[in-house]
Amino acid sequence: MFKSQKLFLRVDRNFFKKVLIIAIPIMLQNFITSSLNMIDTIMVGKLGEVEIAAVGIANQYFFLFSMILIGLCAGCSVFISQYWGKRDYVNIKRILGLGLVSALVVSIVFMILGYINPDKIISIFNKDSQVIDLGGKYLFIVLFSYIFTAIIIVYSYSLRSIGNTIAPLIVNIVALLCNVFFNYVFIFGKFGAPALGVEGAAIATLISRVVEKIIILFLVYKGKGVLAAKFSELIDINISFFKKAYKFILPVLLNDILWATASLIYSVVYGRMGTKATAAVSICNTVSNMFMVVTFGMASAASIMIGKSIGEGKEEQAIDYSKKIMMLSFFVSIILGLTLALTTPFILDLFNVSAEVRSSTSIMLYTISTIFVVRFMGMLIIVGILRGAGDARSALLIEGSTMWFIGVPLTILGAFVFKFPVHTVYALAIFEEVAKFILGLRRLKSRKWINNIT
């Protein structure tokens, strides 16, 4: 046993180096993004539970928006990775242009819908009048940032797909610093600014997104790499190319929409269970996402490496990569699950909440730590390996079916039929993670998931 592990580590140093070069900057970027959300939650949390719930619910609308963008960009990025393997720079620019146009259309639609009646959107998730009022004000301001967010996400995913993970990381670091500073200024009224509470948090987010967009475009065009495309190159898209691209992008997009919609239903369920339940889940999700950043990094590395190998015509190498990254991820996920369990009491000390909210949040975090390996591996298979290999339809079927036929029904039954407490309802949704992992593993063993989409 130990000899085989040592042999694996010695023989595959080159593999580990490739994974870490891609994964670590993405992990850091996702960690910074999650830190940004956590800092927002902590700073707004100093104002009270109602404010936490208001911002948490308002961000559910952004969550749906961002998941649609991520679905678009994830689909585009698989094309870019495979075109990168072929050194087909013309089509990389076309896919980038298609992604930008699609993302801008989505952002404009969400902005218009949000501005029509922001309070109505908040009321879908929670009936507390204070939460609706504060959440509506926050949403109205933060909607301005959606166009900037669209551009940022498209370029971040595209840069990652060609192996440039440093530029998005730099941009995120600057965004984090900006957001923390302007949160401090506008939430609490420092340096002569008025104390605006949750509206101040929204203003800080808007400023950070503007700065982020300016920097990422500067880095792309200063480097004059493959993504520094002219306008004419970005819009050089004919009908046949559009159909070819969206034949793959649509299953990825639908997958993320189904996932995001199911997640929003969870939020509606928790929101209808009361403000304390909403606050507990908001804190739990913020904390658990901090630990899931490693998953996103590993999944991104898997997607990029496998996609590039397929683009180069090296299918056996892609299969070999999938096995090795699964083994590496298994050990990493065990360590992360244990770390989450051990640090939960100390993390919860950061939040100014009631004993009831703290107790519920604590139970949920311990539950997550228990099944962390299953959640980690399931996401790696779906988001990293299957998508990266061009098997978007299988990823859609596995994730869509487990959420909508297991997770969502169990959550609704637990909350409204059996009247379970929020931590028990939260635990019921975890059954979907187990099913997702089992089905994903079966698909991998079939060896039918390699698909050259270019």
Q: 385-404, pLDDT tens digit by residue?
A: 998 888 989 999 999 999 99
Based on C-alpha coordinates, what's the Rg of the chain?
A: 22
Rounded to an integer, the average pLDDT of 178-194 is 91
Q: Is residue 453 part of a domain?
A: no
- Angle at the Cα of 67 (from 223 to 299), degrees rounded to 5? 65
By the 8 A CB rule, do 83 and 95 touch?
Answer: yes
| CA distance from start to end of the chain | 41
- pLDDT greater at residue 2 or residue 355: 355
Give the rounded percent of residues in the chain with a pLDDT score beyond 90.
Answer: 38
Amino acid letter, residue 248:
F
Side-chain-facing half-sphere of 152: CA atoms under 13 Å: 23
Distance (Å, rounded) from C-alpha 300 to C-alpha 318? 14
Query: What pLDDT does 158 receive?
Result: 93
Residue 197, pLDDT > 70, answer yes
Q: Which helix (H) or strand (E) holds 443?
A: helix 431-446
Q: Which two tokens stand for residue 437?
A: 């992992």
pLDDT score for 34? 65
Tell me the per-residue pLDDT of 290-337, one tens digit each, with 9 for 90 and over: 788 888 889 988 988 898 888 888 888 888 889 999 988 999 999 999
Q: Is residue 60 part of a domain?
A: yes
Lowest mean pLDDT among 178-182, 311-315, 330-334, 340-344: 311-315
The whole-number average pLDDT for the span 258-264 is: 85
Euclidean distance between CA atoms 439 and 212, whole angstroms: 39
Residue 3: pLDDT over 60: no
pLDDT, tens digit (0-9, with 9 covering 90-100), for 129-147: 888 888 899 999 999 999 9
- Outline where 117-165 has alpha helix (H): 118-125, 129-142, 146-161
Which pLDDT band holds residue 338 (cuts at 50, 70, 90)? very high
Residue 451 lies in a domain: no
| pLDDT exceeds cutoff 60 at 7 | no
Is there a domain that residue 427 lies in?
yes
How far apart, in Å, are the Cα atoms of 258 and each of 49, 160, 400, 436? 29, 25, 6, 14
Check pLDDT > 70 for residue 440. yes
Res 1: pLDDT: 43
Task: Report if residue 246 sits inside a domain.
Answer: yes
Higher pLDDT, 32 or 233: 233
Name the residue with tokens 């913020």: 286
pLDDT in tens, 423-435: 999 999 889 999 9
- What is the pTM for the complete model shown? 0.79
What are the structure tokens assigned to 385, written together?
């390996």
Q: What is the mean pLDDT of residues 246-256?
A: 87
pLDDT of residue 37: 65
Rounded mean pLDDT, 166-174: 89
41 belongs to a structural domain: yes
Nearest-10 crossing angle of helices 239-272, 118-125: 60
% of residues, the chain, pLDDT over 70: 96
Range of the domain at 254: 2-446
Which residues have a Cβ under 8 Å from the Cβ of 230 and sit 6 or more positions away? none
| Predicted confidence (pLDDT) at residue 213 exceeds the cutoff of 50 | yes
Res 430: pLDDT: 87
Q: Is residue 452 part of a domain?
A: no
CB atoms near residue 364 (< 10 Å): 25
User: What span, in angstroms and rounded, lies between the C-alpha atoms of 400 and 46?
Assistant: 37
Helix (H, G, I), strand (E, B) or coil at 373: helix
> Does the residue 113 lie in any domain?
yes
Burial class (CB in 10 A: 0-12, 13-18, 19+), 73: buried
The SS3 call for residue 230 is coil
Measured between alpha carbons, how far is 106 from 147 in angstroms, rounded to an integer? 9
Mean pLDDT, range 103-111, rounded to an integer? 95
> Per-residue pLDDT averaged across 88-109, rounded?
93
Q: At 54, list the tokens.
A: 């208001």
Domain count, the chain: 1
Angle of helix 146-161 relative to helix 198-223, nearest 10 degrees?
40
pLDDT of the residue at 2: 44
